[in-house]
Structure 1
Amino acid sequence: MGDSPILEDRANPPLGRFLGHVAPGMEPRAIQTQNRPCPEFRPLIRSTPRAFILRGDSLLVQEKRHPDKGLYFTLPGGKQDPGETLTECLKRECLEEVGAAVTVEGLLHVAEVYRLKTGERERQHQLDFVFACSVPEDYTPVLGSHPDPHQTGTRWILAENAQQLRPAYVTKLFSLGCTRGLEVYLGPYND
């Protein structure tokens, strides 16, 4: 058992013990987090909040050009840093990428994205959290101070450009006007 305090409740032992597949040393442990990630925890799944910003019939997107993928558009947003909430991350990413101080209005959808980056053999498993957001009325699309790799601009697009949106779930959301409906979990998508 070592120095790690194992959670023991003889009346309710861990489910894995009943199933017989908890590896030694992998039993649940009490970890002090104080609402911050534990330094020994390294997530294998990346949390990525995304901003769905509609103005009339137009969607605010990042314009990207890639040597292999050509021209495509993505929602602003990005990787959550340790200790940062999803909404804090989204506000920071939007300011960095599209120069916008966004108002986060609420969670719309969650999608799993399996992304294969150029030059890598393994896919990144990512959870995209899509939030309804708004920008000030006088906002004009600009390239932010820290744009994404391959980002060449920021612009409003209409539904006829939806086929160039990535990942594919964004095309689906834009064609539906991103109404929340009953389907919050959108499922897995390859990118």
Structure 2
Amino acid sequence: MSETVTATVRNAAKAVILHEGRILLQRAHWDGRECYFLPGGGQHPGETLGAAVHREVYEETGLGVTVERLLWLREYVGANHGGAPADHRVEAIFLCRPEGDPGRLGGHAEDDVQTGLEWVKLEEVPSLDLLPNGLRNPIADLAHGYSPTRYLGDIA
């Protein structure tokens, strides 16, 4: 008899933190490769998505942020991308501005895969191994002032 998989949907909040034409990214070693992620993480029960992104960014980077607006809504359905059938995530990605000194970085609860933090020029983002890959171009478009709020769909 095959095992029944119970799927759950995990909500998360991610941050696009901009300062002087750069974006703050987490460097990481994940799945045997060096790559980048947006800071942020899972929403706790009873927590708003705005509060979740503020908390997660502070834990991972040491920066307080001002949440300006929702940029994008992204889903990931693992079964559609060769991943675990029970892996279904919904991520709200917010445009944020740093509070305080953006040069003072260092969170107290970094992700296990995180190897550092880096301010990257927006124009350089398409050439990075940024995960999910589907965020590279929308992030780079921010350099040209193009940033409509939109649903990105199920992207890996």
Instruction: Using the TM superposition, give the Cα deviation of residue 168 of structure 1 relative to its aligned residue in structure 2, in angstroms.
Output: 1.6
Per-residue CA shift, 1:22-55, capped at 9, x if unaligned? xxxxxxxxxxxxxxxxxxxx98111111111111
Instruction: Using the TM superposition, give the Cα deviation of residue 67 of structure 1 relative to its aligned residue in structure 2, in angstroms.
Output: 5.1
Aligned equivalent of 2:154: 188
Aligned equivalent of 2:24: 60
Deviates more, 1:44-53 or 1:167-176: 167-176
Q: 1:114·1:188 contact (CA, 8 Å) conserved in 2?
A: yes
Aligned ranges 1:57-136 → 2 under 5 Å: 57-66=21-30, 68=32, 70-115=33-78, 121-136=84-99
In percent, how many aligned pairs have the same letter?
Answer: 31
Measured in 2, the distance between the counterparts of 1:175 and 1:58 equals 10
Amino acid corresponding to residue 40 of structure 2 in structure 1? G
Measured in 2, the distance between the counterparts of 1:106 and 1:152 equals 28
Gaps of 5+ in 2: 1-5
TM-score under structure 2 normalisation?
0.82
Greater Rg over alpha carbons, structure: 1
Query: Counting helix residues as a fraction of each chain, which structure ranks higher?
Result: 2
The alignment of Structure 1 onto Structure 2 pairs a total of residues equal to 144
TM-score under structure 1 normalisation?
0.68
Stretches of 4+ aligned residues off by more than 6 angstroms: none
- CA RMSD, Structure 1 to Structure 2 (Å): 2.3
| Structure with more relative contact order (C-alpha pairs < 8 Å, separation 6 or more) | 2
Assess, with a 3 A threshold, how the Cα gap between structure 1 residues 115 and 43 changes in structure 2: closer, same or farther: closer
